[in-house]
Amino acid sequence: MAVSAAHASMLVSTERPDLILLDINLPDSSGTFALGRLRQLRPDVPIIMLTANTDDELARATFRRGAFDYISKPFNIDHLVQVVETALAS
């Protein structure tokens, strides 16, 4: 588990995760910026964005940057599990 965008980039460059759950709000960067960096490092790994923000434009921006899905908080855990399962099967 990474605690910042920089930490996530370091982990993803040395390990190969099956999936990434990424928050929009990070202590050292925006999640959309981190998404772009992680997508460069691991273009084949699905990235699911999590956010308390329900802004439709922000959601579209994450999809343009390569997010697999965008889930608003608070979320239903069953829905998250379903999205994770779908992402891992893709």
Q: How confident is the model at residue 58 (pLDDT cuts 50, 70, 90)?
A: confident
Report if pTM > 0.85: yes
- Say whether pLDDT at 57 is over 90: no
Q: What is the CATH number of the domain that holds 52?
A: 3.40.50.2300
User: What is the C-alpha to C-alpha distance for residues 17 and 53, in angstroms, rounded to an integer?
Assistant: 26
Domain assignment present for residue 90? The answer is: no
pLDDT value for 13:
93
Distances (CA, A) of 52 to 40, 57, 75: 25, 14, 9
pLDDT value for 85:
98
Q: What is the pLDDT of residues 21-52, one digit of tens each?
A: 999 989 998 888 999 999 999 999 999 999 88
Which residue range is the domain that position 20 belongs to?
Answer: 5-85
Structurally, how many domains does the chain consist of? Answer: 1
Domain assignment present for residue 72? The answer is: yes
Domain assignment present for residue 22? The answer is: yes
